[in-house]
Structure 1
Amino acid sequence: MNQHPHPLTQSSQSWEDARLSPWSRFGDDEWRLDIRTAGRRADQKRFSWALAMPEHTRIGNSDHVQLVRAAKHFLWSMHYHPPSGRKRSSPASIHHKAMLLRALLEWMACEGHSRFAGIDPASVEQLCKWLRCRPARAGGGKGNISTATITNYLLVIKDLYRQREKLNDAPLVDPLPLETTYEAAGHTRATQGVIPFIPEDVAVAILSEALRWVEEHGDTIVAAEAIRREARAQGLRRCKRQASDHVRAALRLASLAGPSGERLDGAYAVRHAAVHLVEACYILIAGFVGMRPSEILSMKTGAIEHHPIGGTGVNQAYVVSRLFKTVDDLDGRRERWVAPAPVVRAVELLEQLSAPLREASGRDDLFLVKNTQYGQIVPVTHMHIAWRINDFARHVGIPDHDGKPWRFSTHQFRKTFARFIARRDRTQLLGLAEHFKHASVAMTARGYVGNDFDLHGLIDHEARAETAAALDRLLAAKRLGGKMGERIVAGNARFRGRAGEQLRRDYVAFILKETDLRIHACDYGWCVFQQETSRCGGELQPNDAGRAPAVCLSCANMVIEAKHGAYWRDRRRRNAALLPEANPMTAAVLNEAIGQCERVLAQIGDDDGQD
């Protein structure tokens, strides 16, 4: 137990009675979380701490109860008192961390760890081995869990250590003193995996089919569904047993045909077509607007609005929905997206198709489904719509890719939308970033468009100025530390001195004009960021959570100049002061850190203040 607990830990009642949601407190064993993001299943909004003891447990029941209590206390701290610079954990984030902690407690019980305080670097190494043998939940349990998932577990361990002063039970020593969570998990660019773009021929095929269903056959399917419902209601009023006969007679009299030429002459054929039409509408919105799945599934009646464009007198149609990502409000923030004519038509069809379900349920969502098990009318979930998109692709005969059917996911349409826009007009990145509600153009360019498009004149002027100044100094330097610093010094002789001034200016101008290179500052050096060689796991820029002196020194992007000498001298002095009272394991860590400092100071020619 910590010698001096944080004031917040003095009264156990204060955190156990704290509200987690309108229905649950942090001390409860059954949690109902207030998660309102569209598309989540009911089980993704509940969590039970009634954990059964593992079969091969090595701790007692009372120890297990205390571990569960410590896990709840940790999640309370992440919600009400997160680490400095971090946002409070949202209800969805708490649910995610609770799932990770449940597996972590299982491992601790089997390994004989009765307290989080006993977790050290050796324990984390054992945890990583155990995690790598666990089957993945996705894909029917085939294969082991991903390195990204292992990273999430290690982040929980690291956060427990960061919160140690606020908790009664937490790791007392840094569980990852010499490497980042990404490195410990083996999570690199090669192993991380990405959501793929839909291949162009496949994307064109499914969007064309969805467009054909909406524009050419939407009215027919809606009319057939209206006839079916009315005929069934009349049949039930007359004779319940003959209701289906009444439906067939009415549909045959209407003589309507579906998208493949099939006769819509029975209840099953009509319902089947109506279900696929909803899927076609979703695909059109996702592919032509690029909204996130949660944004599409949260659409409600009246989702199309028209607003004038400046003083032109021309009206533009917009889809109105809720934005959940990066928004603190649990209900999301009302936003609007530019909507082309086919999307406006798709929304109109959705309103007509969902009308009976809305009337029966009292809801105003456009994506509703009747739960076959309980007969309830509920919103469509991410999992359900993903399955239905693939079902639509099979039904309309989307061609195979590389000899096998393409496996669609909901987010692929958003990335493919961005890629189509950027490949045809690179000047549209600013508009695309605004349309996507992104915080930066770089997020759009790197995360959605791809690495083959640089940002040219769209890069922030402040970042350009800092990069230019740093490049000028580094190219003129005779001594630099870090791996990138060694490479620069080995090849910058022609840029040094007065003779190299013009050459430096020309080269810096070339770099800024022709590449998206940016140099990022930190207390102990510069990062000439390149994603492919980044050790911190950054994608668009250095990842602050993964950065550390030891990590950066092993990274090919690192440059250290004389101005950073004071940091390395101070780091060497602080570590040396801890050596006399350190145990052998800690001493080895401290000596390694001191050695790093001395190597850097030797590289930059700064040996002042030798201890």
Structure 2
Amino acid sequence: MSVVVIKPTTSATAHANLYGRARRWCMGPDLSGCRSLKRQAALWLQRHKLGDPPPEHPFDGERPSAFSGFNGRSAKRWPFTPDAVAVPLISSAIRLIAQPADDLIALRDQAASLYEERRARGLTRPSVRQPVLKLIAAFKFTCLDGEDAPWHPPIVGTKQVRFLVDRIYEACFVVISYLVGARVSEILALADCIEQRCSADGTEIFSYLRGRVFKTAVDDAGQPHLWAAPQAVARAIDVLERLSAPLREQAGRRELWLAMQGHGSSTRAPSMS
């Protein structure tokens, strides 16, 4: 993960001059100027982290939009994803996190187990790898209901296993983002996140996604939040937990979005995806 460091300017006068230029620059709906104003507001909000903080609020306590004339009502929004794209995308993602995800997790675990077992015996690299490659090539994917052939043909090599595992991760992200509506930062921060509650009469059980909202939070920890989680989202979280389990155990981390560096199927030191 990359870290953006905001370096303070050299003096309070420099801060004031910067704010003054930005205020004069963006007195109309000019997008680049509005971004500059937002940067000045961000510096003020994070003044406690700066060695030489700005002496006063750059806009007398007002929002930057009060000076720019550019706000949510005047912004040109990106169009919604057309149904012709969204429906096949979500349908395919839900399909992938069902039995295909179970197949891939089983294959990955079998290959990793065999690899580690043979490596622990002190065998040579070819003697370790060749049985693993044979296991992968012989694996039979499931034939899904209503389909005449397995959902995927046989594969060769650990790179293809990793490629398909990455597609399962992506399918999980699509399902959660579309069916819950959480922001990217909120989805990537999920951990131990499924909560179930009974209905008032005790006849039904509802699933919720427990996470944190960062956009309106007062600190970096975020504000606790619950989203209603339909069955497909609960399934996506279950798949993510099983996909990331070996890496979370090895790294001692709770995040669900962990991935290995490189292309192998065996466990290694993980990094954030």
Instruction: Give me the TM-score of the superposition, normalised by structure 2.
Output: 0.74
Residue type of the alignment partner of 2:67: T
Relative to structure 1, the CA distance from residue 355 to residue 158 in structure 2 (aligned partners, 3 Å threshold; closer, same or farther) is closer
**Does 2:25 match 1:47?**
no
Query: In 1, are the aligned partners of 2:210 and 2:225 still within 8 Å (CA)?
Result: yes
Please state whether the residue corresponding to 2:237 is helix, strand or coil: helix
| Greater Cα offset, 188-197 or 230-239 | 188-197
1:116 paired residue among 1, 16, 30: 16
Offset of residue 213 of structure 1? 0.5
Name which of 107, 124, 127 aligns with 1:242. 127
**Residue deviations 1:208-233 (CA, integer Å, cap 9, x gap):** 11011012311111111111211221
Contact 2:101 2:168 in 1 (8 A): yes
Deviation sequence 1:228-269 (CA, Å, 0-9, x none): 211221232332233221211222343336975221342122
The one-character-per-residue Cα deviations of 1:347-371 (angstroms, maximum 9, x if unpaired) are: 1111111011101210011111335
Contact 1:118/1:171 (8 A) holds in 2: no
Contact 2:16 2:54 in 1 (8 A): no
* Aligned residue pair count: 248
C-alpha distance in structure 2 between counterparts of 1:231 and 1:157, whole Å = 56
Aligned residues of 1:297 and 1:366 also touching (Cα < 8 A): yes
Partner of 2:211: 321
Aligned residue number for residue 136 of structure 2:
251
- Counterpart in the other structure of 1:212: 95
- What is the deviation of 1:272? 0.9
Give aligned-pair identity as a percent.
24
Structure 1: how far apart are the matches of 2:92 and 2:199?
Answer: 31
**Given residue 182 of structure 1, which amino acid in structure 2 is its aligned partner?**
S
1:283 aligns to 2:174 (yes or no): yes
Q: Could you say which residue in structure 2 is the equivalent of 1:70?
A: 12
- Three-state SS of the structure 2 residue aligned to 1:312 is coil
Distance change (3 Å), C-alpha of 1:69 and 1:234: same
Distance 1:159 1:267 in 2: 45
1:570 corresponds in structure 2 to none
What does residue 273 of structure 1 align with? 164
Shift in alpha-carbon separation, 1:231–1:147, aligned structure 2, 3 A: farther
Alignment of 1:96-111 (within 5 A): none
Q: Secondary structure at the match of 2:224?
A: strand
TM-score normalised by length of structure 1: 0.36
Which protein has greater RCO, CA pairs closer than 8 Å, 6+ apart?
Answer: 2
Aligned residue for 2:79, secondary structure, equals coil
Q: Is the Cα–Cα contact under 8 Å of residues 26 and 34 in structure 2 kept in the other structure?
A: no
Trace 1:476-491 onto structure 2 (pairs within 5 A): none
Unmatched runs of 5 consecutive residues or more in structure 1? 1-40, 50-66, 72-113, 130-145, 161-166, 381-611
Letter paired with 1:240: R
1:460-481 deviation per Cα after TM superposition (whole angstroms, max 9, x unaligned): xxxxxxxxxxxxxxxxxxxxxx
- 2:49 aligned partner: none
Rg (Cα) greater in structure: 1
Aligned equivalents of 1:318 and 1:240: distance in 2? 46
Listed one character per residue, the Cα deviations across residues 497-518 of structure 1 (whole Å, up to 9, x for unaligned) are xxxxxxxxxxxxxxxxxxxxxx
**Equivalent residue, structure 1, for 2:222:** 332
In 2, Cα distance between the equivalents of 1:124 and 1:197?
33
Q: Residues 120 and 334 (structure 1 numbering): CA distance in 2 closer, same or farther, change over 3 Å?
A: closer
State the one-letter code of the partner of 2:16. F
Indicate whether 1:293 and 2:184 are aligned.
Answer: yes
Alpha carbons 2:100, 2:151 under 8 Å: kept = no
How far apart, in 1, do the equivalents of 2:102 and 2:156 lie? 16
* Correspondence for 1:261: 152
Asked if 1 retains the 8 angstrom alpha-carbon contact of 2:26 and 2:67, the reply is: no
Match 2:270 to one of 360, 377, 385: 377
Q: 1:173-188, aligned counterparts within 5 Å?
A: 180-183=66-69, 187=70
Whose helix proportion is higher, 1 or 2? Answer: 1
Q: Give the alignment's Cα RMSD to 1 decimal.
A: 3.8
Matches within 5 A, 1:171-570: 180-183=66-69, 187=70, 192-237=75-120, 238-256=123-141, 261-300=152-191, 302-371=192-261, 377-380=270-273
Partners of 1:219 and 1:149 lie apart in 2 by 47
In structure 2, runs of 5+ residues without a counterpart are 44-52, 144-149, 263-267
Contact 1:255/1:264 (8 A) holds in 2? no
User: In 1, are the aligned partners of 2:209 and 2:228 still within 8 Å (CA)?
Assistant: yes
CA contact (8 A) 1:357 1:369 kept: yes
Give me the whole-angstrom Cα distance separating, in 2, the residues matched to 1:357 and 1:316: 29
Deviation at 1:147, TM superposition (A): 3.0
Decide whether the 8 Å contact of 1:211 with 1:284 is kept in 2.
yes
Shift of 1:171: 11
Change (3 A) 1:180 1:371: same
Q: Which amino acid aligns with 1:245?
A: Q
Q: Deviations over 1:41-71 (max 9, x none)?
A: 4323x3345xxxxxxxxxxxxxxxxx52327
- In the alignment, the residues of structure 2 paired with residue 250 and residue 332 of structure 1 have an alpha-carbon distance, to the nearest angstrom, of 45
